[in-house]
């Protein structure tokens, strides 16, 4: 229906104008207000790829543009291993904020220097967390490292939202590093 299409284009143009005004005022937190653009489809489904597949696309896009150094690629690939190993690999739209909150809690229980420790080599992320829970002498990740992983997850989810794989960045502001 051409009338509906025209109305939707007009609504989208209004949202773009509101967004630009917010940016001009220095408001970087603007969120779309028109519920047509923010609510999920009527059947409640969003077609989205698996976390691991979408993250691989993200890595390829950022690497191709030259936005990242090799260390950043390594950090993001490690994030993929951690998240899929701790809470599972599923469609992006299938995760909830509480899933990512749980992931954050597990990160805080993950031993540090997992790649350097002979005791941890070959273990899955879940096995590492379980080992650290049994042995209090094993030091866990620092708050700074947990913060880095959660910031990387949030950056990825922001990108995934822009791609239409999910409706919002559910990883934003889950973890605040203790002062």
Reported confidence tier of residue 4, pLDDT bands at 50, 70, 90: confident
More confident residue, 102 or 119: 102
Mean pLDDT of 160-170: 91
The confidence score (pLDDT) of residue 27 equals 64
Q: Which residues contact 74 (CB under 8 A, 6 or more apart)?
A: none
Residue 22 has pLDDT above 90, yes or no: no
Which DSSP category does 44 fall into?
S
- What is the rounded average pLDDT of the residues 96-115? 92
User: Is residue 103's pLDDT more than 80?
Assistant: yes
The per-residue b/e assignment along 2-39, b for 16 or more CB within 10 angstroms, e otherwise, is eeeeeeeeeeeeebeeeeeeeeeeeeeeeeeeeeeeee
Write down the pTM of the prediction.
0.72
Residue 165 CA to residue 169 CA, distance in Å, equals 10
Give the per-residue pLDDT at 28: 60
Question: Looking at residues 148-166, what average pLDDT do you find?
Answer: 94
The pLDDT tens digits of the residues spanning 30-54 come to 666 766 665 555 555 556 899 999 9
């Amino acid at each position: 229906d051409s009338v509906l299409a025209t109305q939707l284009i007009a609504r989208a143009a209004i949202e773009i104008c509101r967004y630009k005004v917010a940016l001009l005022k220095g408001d970087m937190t603007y969120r779309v207000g028109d519920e047509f653009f923010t609510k999920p489809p009527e059947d409640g489904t969003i077609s989205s790829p698996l976390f691991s597949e979408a993250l691989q696309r993200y890595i390829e896009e950022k690497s191709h543009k030259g936005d990242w150094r090799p260390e950043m690629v390594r950090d993001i690939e490690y994030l993929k291993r951690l998240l899929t190993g701790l809470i599972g690999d599923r469609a992006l739209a299938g995760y909830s904020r509480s899933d990512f909150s749980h992931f954050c809690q597990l990160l805080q229980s993950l031993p540090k220097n997992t790649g350097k420790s002979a005791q941890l080599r070959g273990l899955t992320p879940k096995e590492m967390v379980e080992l650290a829970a049994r042995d209090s002498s094993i030091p866990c990740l620092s708050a700074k490292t947990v913060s880095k992983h959660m910031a990387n997850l949030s950056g990825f989810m922001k990108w995934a939202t822009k791609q239409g794989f999910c409706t919002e960045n559910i990883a934003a502001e889950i973890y605040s590093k203790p002062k």
